[in-house]
A = this chain, B = another copy of it.
Amino acid sequence: MFITETQIRVRYAETDQMNVVYYGNYAQYFEVARAESIRKLGFTYREMEALGVIMPVVEMQTKFLRPAHYDDLLNIKTILRELPVNYRISFDHEVYNQEKRLLTTGKVILYFVKMGTFEKSEMPGALRSVLTPYFQ
């Protein structure tokens, strides 16, 4: 299992007139958390795209348990429970506020595909190498 934590401060732009973070903005938080998760492996998603592999999201499930508010310092736990065996990768996310209350949970499934053709692809070898030790 590979787990990382990322902090995100809620922007004013991300609130709506319900005085809470708009439900659509969590997808961005999950994206940032995934990117930071990969960065902690000594790799970046940007580099992966430079290698011609992109990761479109194919599925997302989100539960909104409690609202986040402006200026909250969110802690996003990103969990990779299984090492991908093919072109599919699944991340779990848990969003906590500064009082350590669980606000939101998310599952995001992505594919590795080739840039341009969107043809399904394997996880890049460099990423697999740095991830494998977490699953032994």
Interface residues in chain A, defined as those with a beta carbon under 8 Å from any beta carbon in chain B:
9, 11-13, 15-20, 22-28, 31-32, 35, 44-46, 49, 54, 56-65, 67, 70-71, 118
**CB atoms of A13 and B28 under 8 A apart:** yes
- Number of copies of this chain in the oligomer? 4
A9 to chain B, nearest CB (A): 7
Tell which of B28, B46, B49, B61 touches A60, judged by Cβ atoms closer than 8 Å: B61
**A65 cross-chain contacts in B, Cβ below 8 A:** 58
With most chain B CB atoms within 10 A of its CB, the pick from A18, A28, A44, A118 is A18
**CB atoms of A16 and B13 under 8 A apart:** yes
In the complex, A12 Cα to B18 Cα: how many Å? 9
**CB atoms of A22 and B12 under 8 A apart:** yes
Known contacts A12-B45, A16-B16, then 17 further A-B pairs from the complex at CB < 8 Å, ordered by chain A residue: A9-B32, A11-B28, A11-B31, A11-B32, A12-B31, A13-B24, A16-B17, A17-B18, A17-B20, A23-B27, A23-B57, A24-B24, A24-B28, A27-B27, A46-B70, A46-B71, A49-B70
Tell which of B11, B54, B59 touches A63, judged by Cβ atoms closer than 8 Å: B59
**CB atoms of B15 and A16 under 8 A apart:** yes
Tell which of B11, B18, B58, B62 touches A56, judged by Cβ atoms closer than 8 Å: B18
